[in-house]
């Protein structure tokens, strides 16, 4: 039961923050306020943003690929909602087809069609129906736990009658336009699933496998001592051989094999198929031919099964240009029922006719039947070894080996496919290839290259689509036909079927409910019966845009508003699946693609780069990972990876853990720091902090910088997400978190603590609040849980009116708020440019100190910054006090004097890129680059022109960088450069600065002990010290003289233990060490 007045739990800064458990609190809060439904109600009347969700099968549990796809969809649809759209999001289920039937076949031990007919289609379909939604509850739980907002209660199922009825309408529309036909073609066929597959299904699952490869000899009828030599990796097709094929223009030879004492005819380029070293083999060439000279030669068949029927026109040599001399022997065995080219060539040469089809001696499960009586009942792969054994006994096997090659496997059963002739129903695709390409070109793909290249190339070679499956649990193809197939009636609705058949009350369209229904012939041909086939499940999911709305039977206006979809997204594998079938049907029906924008993601692999496998257990359980680290961490880890650029991701649990440490904890600590300083402000001044969304531009440069960065972030996220480039947004968001935690707060800690008075403190707190609030709003689509949690903590500081965001009245959730607009008054490109210079200098300075073991606590005398650009130096000068304080240097020197600073120039090349341009000249340039002088490199920096070893190079070919000749520097001077700016640091530790350094070391020990004792920033603490060895005068002097340093950093000065009151409440006491000086440090509650 929803509770609109539910209150989010108060944030407890004193306890550890468990991200996964906190997410469960957020889920409970969303449930209490019915957040998703409420957000939909609030957005009604806004401009619709349509989204189609590709339906998964619920026969298995969700895996990382599903989590990734769901996250991408959730990010985009949440953003669309926040930018002022109404986003209807409905979950869908793929309920029919091979995935379901294969499970039932395994459960019931079904081996073939006869087993299903024996039990009855009603019972078989009832079994299928019972498991279709087996994991529905687990799916819903996992999807909701991942933070995805989508409507399960009004989702669609492909097995619903309304959905199936729309499929009938789709098919009838295509049928009436002449885009459907029945044909006998050689198709990919799954013996395990007893059905043909489409070409794109076969193309989606190639694997490396081993097959027997044999070379056989077929004696000429008029010259039995001369054998035509053929090679095959499918010995099981040899009993159905009807011809041999050569290339009409290729060269062939007749050789004499002295050891075998017979002649062989084959391509001279492929003698290695028979002999390891043809030069050493005891053979000689007797005669040479071109292929057309061999046409018509008759040979003795390997097996007798089809000789009598075909002896007057088969078992002879044919020619066709598809034959090559790349592998085998140049003589190709023809089994027209099992090869597409075989079928075409034999049909063209009259071996069989369209009316009398070629022999296909296999049952539905790929087992041999009569007249191949020697192998009846054996599956094709099982029969291979028996066929080879029999041919060896006849002396017909010349060479036998094993070949490893890439071969298509059934995407559902995992068994190898075969190719065989199957009468099937096709949707015409080849005539509309140009339309498909044009429609696709009008859509946006992210990344674009996938749409243009991978998908575009696939479309260019599209084949007619076999949409029929010889199965049972699926949407029946609505064709009622006469016995001779001369009369065909296509039904497009339940009403039409009832009208034509006279049967009323039809509520279920599955085979067990309609196969018995007949239609009287309109041509006097008796009774029309429905064909046995059902739709390919890809036809069903491809019909989803129309069928989920039960179009055109209802919801016509709603459908027209939502078509084409603004957005769809799935994995890379769907370029040959759902994306493809969507486009075919959309183009046929409406002349356009059913989507405007499409994000395609890569595949999630195991950490070792292999496919995730339950049997190998090479990946962590998704549920355990979510419960350990939280869904936000999983979401951000995947979204901030190459996978959103359609590249693959090797999933590492450590990567999810890193997101917690490097992103969420610093972000959380920034929020907790705000809470602590607000409490401190109240304690010190009695002032309750209230966020002012309309605060004037601060006079403080740090406030102006962080607020300007907020506006740039808002601009960036709106632009990039608006163009579906998720991969550019997340790095920018993470940079903002880093800038907040490691720059703004670090540089403003004293201001935020109240050092400059309450007015300045409130200004700094307002800037910090604004930044955290902006992060919540801009990150909410990516990390819905932590943004909700932090937002609820910020919400209590907002003014009571809706002035924080005039576009919303309901502030109960961050996900009810609109995406922020840029505050023009806060935009400040100059400040951002200056601060970018400051960051470069400080990062180089920090790196120098770390590299040379000079902690920031140790004061140094001088830092010199070199840059050739005067404005750059002016930018650094304007922020010099921050640089001096952060790097703990007394003087900052700015210079553009290259000689004085020892600045030199060098050229670097991106060899993989440049190599493609230079090719054979790359070696020359590589060698000559080492000889380029500093002056020449500088000249290239100015002009982007240089000639190396006579080869001219221009802009972008090379990169000019500054560096320092350290030999020219004074002693103790340290240098570093990022290629543009150069810094020189005086690394000598001077006695006059050591006292301050020791004071900073003491401060560091006090801060560490406070943290160890679990103290909060607001806890007032006094510190006392006593030497545990001999009294050290130097450190004692530091304690007494560096009072400014202590007060500025920790608000109090450490005192000797002799001054500690006897009644003092000791919080913590521990021995410390600074510069080998040991002392006891005691922390007590301030009186």
Going across the sheet that includes 283-290, the strands are 283-290, 251-257, 262-266, 226-232, 206-219, 397-408
Q: Residue 113 corresponds to which tokens in the numbers above?
A: 């069609």
Distance CA 6, CA 2 (A): 9
Q: What is the pLDDT of residue 151?
A: 92
> For residue range 184-200, what is the model confidence (pLDDT) as tens digits?
888 888 877 777 876 65
Q: Evaluate if residue 1 carries a pLDDT over 70.
A: no
Distance CA 705, CA 825 (A): 12
> Quick check: is 155 in a domain?
no
**Which residues are paired to 290 by β-bridges?**
251
Of 760, 714, 748, 726, whose CA–CA distance to 636 is shortest?
726
Q: What is the pLDDT of residue 615?
A: 60
Residue ranges in 263-329 assigned as alpha helix (H): 307-310
Q: Active site includes 753? A: no
Q: What is the pLDDT of residue 900?
A: 78
Of 49, 4, 2, whose CA–CA distance to 813 is shortest?
4
Q: What is the pLDDT of residue 1014?
A: 82
Choosing from 578, 667, 705, 743, the catalytic residue is: 578
Q: Active site includes 705? A: no
Residues 818 and 908 occupy one common structural domain: no
Q: What is the pLDDT of residue 533?
A: 92
Q: What is the pLDDT of residue 807?
A: 47
Q: What is the pLDDT of residue 673?
A: 92
Q: What is the pLDDT of residue 551?
A: 94
> For residue range 31-75, what is the model confidence (pLDDT) as tens digits?
999 999 999 999 998 999 999 998 887 777 888 888 999 999 999
Residues 402 and 492 occupy one common structural domain: no
Q: Evaluate if residue 540 carries a pLDDT over 80.
A: yes
Choosing from 614, 900, 917, 1040, the catalytic residue is: 614
Q: What is the pLDDT of residue 57?
A: 78
Residues 6 or more apart in contact with residue 197 via CB below 8 angstroms:
187, 188, 189, 190, 410, 411, 417, 466, 536
Question: Rounded mean pLDDT of 1070-1079?
Answer: 85
Task: Choose the weakest-confidence range: 230-239, 278-287, 885-894.
Answer: 278-287
Distance CA 729, CA 778 (A): 10
Residues 796 and 934 occupy one common structural domain: no
Q: What is the pLDDT of residue 3?
A: 74
Question: Rounded mean pLDDT of 364-392?
Answer: 89
Q: Active site includes 411? A: no
pLDDT band at 1074 (very low <50, low <70, confident <90, very high): confident
Q: Active site includes 480? A: no
Of 200, 206, 202, whose CA–CA distance to 429 is shortest?
200
> Quick check: is 106 in a domain?
no
The last residue of one of the domains, among 777, 806, 835, is 835
Average pLDDT, the chain: 87
> Quick check: is 1069 in a domain?
yes
Choosing from 53, 74, 94, 976, the catalytic residue is: 94
- Token pair 């003087």 in the structure block, residue: 891
> Quick check: is 878 in a domain?
no
Residues 726 and 812 occupy one common structural domain: yes
Q: Are 163 and 90 in contact (CB under 8 A)?
A: no
Question: Percent of the chain having pLDDT more than 90?
Answer: 42
Choosing from 334, 574, 677, 1042, the catalytic residue is: 574
Q: What is the pLDDT of residue 110?
A: 83
DSSP codes joined into one string, 566-606: SBEEEEGGGGGTHHHHHHHHHHHHHSS-SBSEEEEE--EE-
Choosing from 22, 30, 53, 55, the catalytic residue is: 55
Q: Evaluate if residue 815 carries a pLDDT over 70.
A: yes
Of 386, 243, 383, 216, whose CA–CA distance to 307 is shortest?
243
Of 667, 699, 849, whose CA–CA distance to 768 is shortest?
667
Q: Evaluate if residue 803 carries a pLDDT over 70.
A: no
- Please write down the HEC assignment for all residues of 673-703: HHHHHHHHHHHHHCCCCCCCCCCCCCCCHHH
Which of helix, strand or coil describes residue 211? strand
> Quick check: is 183 in a domain?
no
Structurally, the chain folds into a number of domains equal to 5
> Quick check: is 98 in a domain?
no
Around 174, how many Cα atoms within 13 Å sit in the side-chain half-sphere?
A: 28
> For residue range 733-756, what is the model confidence (pLDDT) as tens digits?
889 999 999 999 998 888 888 877
Residues 916 and 1017 occupy one common structural domain: no
Q: Evaluate if residue 804 carries a pLDDT over 60.
A: no
> Quick check: is 171 in a domain?
no
Residues 950 and 1019 occupy one common structural domain: no
Q: Residue 871 corresponds to which tokens in the numbers above?
A: 């404005």
Residues 814 and 936 occupy one common structural domain: no
Q: Are 823 and 711 in contact (CB under 8 A)?
A: yes
Q: What is the pLDDT of residue 220?
A: 93
Residue scoring higher pLDDT (1015 or 389): 389
> For residue range 1008-1040, what is the model confidence (pLDDT) as tens digits?
888 888 888 778 889 999 888 788 888 888 888
Using alpha carbons, list the distances in angstroms from residue 662 to 630, 770, 943.
15, 22, 41
Domain that holds residue 670: 649-835
Q: Active site includes 55? A: yes
> For residue range 928-938, what is the model confidence (pLDDT) as tens digits?
777 777 777 77
Residues 303 and 356 occupy one common structural domain: yes
Residues 908 and 1057 occupy one common structural domain: no
Q: What is the pLDDT of residue 773?
A: 96
Give the CA radius of gyration of the chain: 38
CATH number of the domain bearing residue 733: 1.10.730.10
> For residue range 503-521, what is the model confidence (pLDDT) as tens digits?
999 999 999 999 999 999 9
The last residue of one of the domains, among 530, 546, 567, is 530
Distance CA 1042, CA 1036 (A): 10
> For residue range 145-172, what is the model confidence (pLDDT) as tens digits?
999 999 999 889 999 999 999 999 999 9
Q: Are 335 and 240 in contact (CB under 8 A)?
A: yes
Distance CA 948, CA 921 (A): 10
Q: Active site includes 611? A: yes
pLDDT band at 911 (very low <50, low <70, confident <90, very high): low
β-pairing, 262-266 vs 226-232, is parallel
The last residue of one of the domains, among 499, 530, 561, is 530
Question: Percent of the chain having pLDDT more than 70?
Answer: 96
Choosing from 311, 389, 611, 683, the catalytic residue is: 611
Residues 1010 and 950 occupy one common structural domain: no
CATH number of the domain bearing residue 326: 3.90.740.10
Residues 907 and 1032 occupy one common structural domain: no
Residues 404 and 497 occupy one common structural domain: no
Residue scoring higher pLDDT (446 or 901): 446
Q: Active site includes 378? A: no
> Quick check: is 1053 in a domain?
yes
Q: Are 677 and 753 in contact (CB under 8 A)?
A: yes
Q: What is the pLDDT of residue 768?
A: 95
Q: Residue 277 corresponds to which tokens in the numbers above?
A: 């070293």
Residue scoring higher pLDDT (209 or 598): 598
């Amino acid at each position: 039961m929803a509770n609109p007045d539910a209150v989010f739990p108060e944030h407890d800064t004193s306890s550890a923050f468990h991200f996964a458990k906190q997410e469960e609190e957020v889920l409970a809060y969303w449930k209490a306020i019915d957040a998703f439904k409420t957000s939909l109600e609030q957005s009604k009347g806004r401009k619709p943003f349509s989204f189609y969700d590709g339906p998964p099968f619920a026969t298995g549990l969700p895996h990382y690929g599903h989590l990734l796809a769901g996250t991408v969809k959730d990010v985009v649809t949440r953003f669309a909602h926040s930018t002022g759209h109404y986003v209807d999001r409905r979950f869908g289920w793929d309920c029919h087809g091979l995935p379901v039937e294969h499970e039932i076949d395994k459960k019931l031990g079904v081996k073939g069609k006869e087993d299903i007919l024996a039990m009855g289609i009603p019972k078989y379909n009832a079994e299928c129906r019972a498991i279709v939604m087996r994991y529905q509850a687990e799916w819903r739980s996992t999807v909701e736990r991942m933070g995805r907002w989508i409507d399960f209660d009004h989702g669609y199922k492909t097995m619903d009658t309304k959905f199936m009825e729309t499929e009938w309408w789709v098919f009838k529309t295509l049928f009436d336009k002449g885009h459907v036909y029945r044909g006998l073609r050689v198709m990919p066929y799954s013996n395990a699933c007893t059905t043909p597959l489409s070409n794109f299904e076969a193309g989606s699952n190639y694997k490396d496998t081993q097959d027997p490869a044999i070379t056989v000899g077929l004696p000429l009828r008029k010259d039995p001592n001369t054998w035509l030599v053929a090679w095959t990796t499918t010995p099981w097709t040899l009993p159905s051989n009807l011809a041999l094929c050569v290339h009409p223009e290729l060269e062939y030879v007749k050789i004499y094999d002295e050891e075998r004492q017979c002649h062989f005819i084959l391509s001279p380029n492929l003698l290695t198929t028979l002999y390891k070293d043809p030069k050493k083999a005891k053979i000689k060439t007797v005669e040479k031919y071109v292929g057309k000279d061999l046409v018509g030669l008759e040979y003795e068949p390997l097996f007798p099964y089809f000789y009598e029927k075909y002896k007057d026109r088969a078992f002879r040599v044919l020619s066709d240009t598809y034959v090559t001399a790349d592998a085998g022997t140049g003589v190709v065995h023809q089994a027209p029922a099992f090869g597409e080219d075989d079928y075409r060539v034999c049909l063209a040469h009259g071996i069989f006719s369209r009316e009398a089809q070629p022999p296909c001696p296999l049952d539905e499960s790929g087992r041999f039947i009569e007249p191949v009586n020697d192998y009846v009942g054996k599956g094709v792969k099982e029969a291979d070894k028996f066929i080879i054994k029999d041919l060896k006994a006849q002396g017909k096997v010349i060479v036998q080996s094993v070949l490893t090659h890439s071969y298509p496997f059934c995407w559902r059963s995992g068994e190898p496919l075969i190719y065989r002739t199957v009468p099937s129903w096709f949707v015409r695709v080849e005539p509309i290839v140009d339309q498909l390409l044009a429609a696709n070109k009008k859509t946006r793909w992210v990344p674009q290259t996938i749409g243009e290249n991978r998908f575009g190339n696939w479309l260019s070679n599209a084949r007619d689509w076999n949409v029929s499956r010889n199965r049972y649990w699926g949407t029946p193809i609505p064709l009622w036909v006469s016995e001779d197939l001369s009369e065909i009636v296509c039904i497009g609705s339940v009403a039409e079927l009832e009208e034509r058949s006279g049967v009323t009350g039809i509520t279920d369209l599955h085979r067990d409910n309609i196969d018995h229904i007949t239609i009287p012939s309109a041509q006097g041909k008796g009774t029309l019966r429905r064909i046995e086939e059902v739709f390919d499940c890809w036809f069903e999911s491809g019909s989803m845009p129309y069928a989920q709305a039960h179009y055109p039977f209802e919801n016509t206006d709603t459908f027209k508003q939502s078509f084409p979809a603004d957005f769809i997204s799935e994995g890379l594998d769907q370029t040959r699946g759902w994306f493809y079938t969507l486009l075919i049907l959309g183009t046929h029906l409406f002349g356009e693609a059913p989507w405007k924008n499409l994000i395609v993601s890569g595949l999630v692999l195991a950490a070792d780069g292999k496919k995730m496998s339950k049997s190998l257990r090479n990946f962590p359980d998704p549920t355990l990972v979510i419960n350990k680290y939280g869904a936000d961490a999983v979401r951000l880890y995947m979204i901030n990876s190459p996978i959103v650029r359609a590249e693959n991701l090797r999933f590492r649990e450590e990567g999810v853990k890193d997101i917690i440490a490097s992103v969420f904890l610093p972000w959380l600590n920034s929020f907790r720091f705000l809470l602590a300083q607000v409490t401190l402000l109240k304690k010190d001044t009695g002032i309750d902090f209230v966020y002012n969304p309309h605060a004037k531009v601060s006079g403080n440069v740090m406030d102006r910088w962080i607020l300007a960065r907020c506006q740039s972030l808002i601009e960036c996220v709106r632009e990039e997400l608006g163009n579906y480039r998720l991969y550019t947004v997340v790095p920018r968001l993470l940079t903002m978190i880093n800038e907040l935690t490691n720059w703004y707060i670090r540089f403003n800690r004293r201001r935020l603590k109240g050092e400059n008075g309450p007015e300045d403190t409130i200004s700094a707190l307002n800037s910090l609040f604004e930044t955290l609030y902006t992060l919540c709003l801009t990150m909410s689509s990516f990390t819905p849980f932590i943004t909700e949690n932090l937002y609820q903590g910020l919400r209590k500081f907002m003014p009571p009116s809706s002035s924080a965001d005039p576009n919303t009245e309901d502030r109960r959730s961050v996900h009810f708020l609109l995406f922020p607009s840029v505050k023009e008054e806060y935009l400040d490109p100059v400040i951002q440019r200056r601060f970018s210079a400051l960051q470069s200098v400080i990062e180089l300075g920090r790196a120098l100190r770390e590299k040379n073991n000079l902690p920031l606590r140790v004061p140094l005398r001088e830092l010199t910054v070199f840059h050739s650009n005067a404005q750059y130096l002016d930018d650094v000068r304007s922020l010099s006090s921050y640089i001096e304080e952060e790097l703990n240097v007394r003087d900052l020197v700015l210079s553009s004097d290259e000689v004085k600073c020892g600045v030199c120039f060098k050229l670097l090349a991106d060899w993989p890129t440049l190599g493609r341009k230079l090719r054979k000249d790359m070696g020359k340039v590589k060698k000559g680059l080492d000889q380029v002088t500093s002056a020449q490199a500088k000249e290239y920096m100015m002009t982007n022109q240089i000639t190396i070893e006579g080869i001219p190079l221009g802009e972008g070919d090379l990169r000019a960088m500054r560096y320092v000749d350290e030999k020219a520097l004074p002693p103790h001077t340290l240098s570093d450069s990022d290629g543009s700016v150069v810094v020189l640091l005086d690394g000598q530790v001077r006695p006059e600065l050591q006292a301050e350094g020791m004071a900073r070391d003491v401060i560091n020990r006090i801060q560490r002990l406070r943290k160890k004792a679990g103290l909060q920033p607001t806890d007032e603490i006094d510190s006392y010290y006593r030497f545990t060895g001999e009294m050290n005068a130097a450190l004692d002097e530091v304690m007494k003289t560096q009072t400014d340093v202590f007060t500025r950093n920790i608000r109090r000065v450490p005192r000797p233990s002799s001054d500690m009151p006897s009644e003092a409440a000791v919080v913590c006491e521990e021995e410390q060490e600074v510069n080998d000086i040991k002392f006891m440090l005691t922390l007590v509650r301030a009186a």
